[in-house]
Amino acid sequence: MDLYYEVNGHGHPVVLLTGGADVRNWTFMVPLLAKHYKVVACDGRGTGKSPNPLEDVNPVKDLLSLLDHLEISQATLIGHSMGAKLLLNSL
């Protein structure tokens, strides 16, 4: 997995998806959610600490690869801005 991600807390997985920003977008939400959930936040390809894309980006494929890498079969997805669009496209 070459995308940068952070995992905090324990429990049911909650994946935070942002559009065009990085994990810092969730700075205030992660500690609150991590009290009760396993919180996963990642930098999308070309943002934050994730690498720049070398070919066409498929954010749905990236999301599914991250979930596979973390062995998460079910999660609650929370999207902000383009992250919400990604969430809807992954259904």
Q: Which residues pair with 19 in a beta bridge?
A: none
Q: Above 70 in pLDDT, residue 81?
A: yes
Task: Work out the mean pLDDT of the chain and round it to a whole number.
Answer: 91
Query: Domain residues for 80?
Result: 5-89
Instruction: Say what the pLDDT of residue 82 is.
Output: 74
| Domain CATH for 14 | 3.40.50.1820
The model's pTM: 0.89
Task: Please name which of 11, 17, 75 lies closest in space to residue 38, comparing C-alpha atoms.
Answer: 11
Count of the separate structural domains present in the chain:
1
Q: Are strands 5-8 and 38-42 parallel, antiparallel or unpaired?
A: antiparallel
Over residues 8-32, the pLDDT tens digits come to 999 999 999 987 789 999 999 999 9
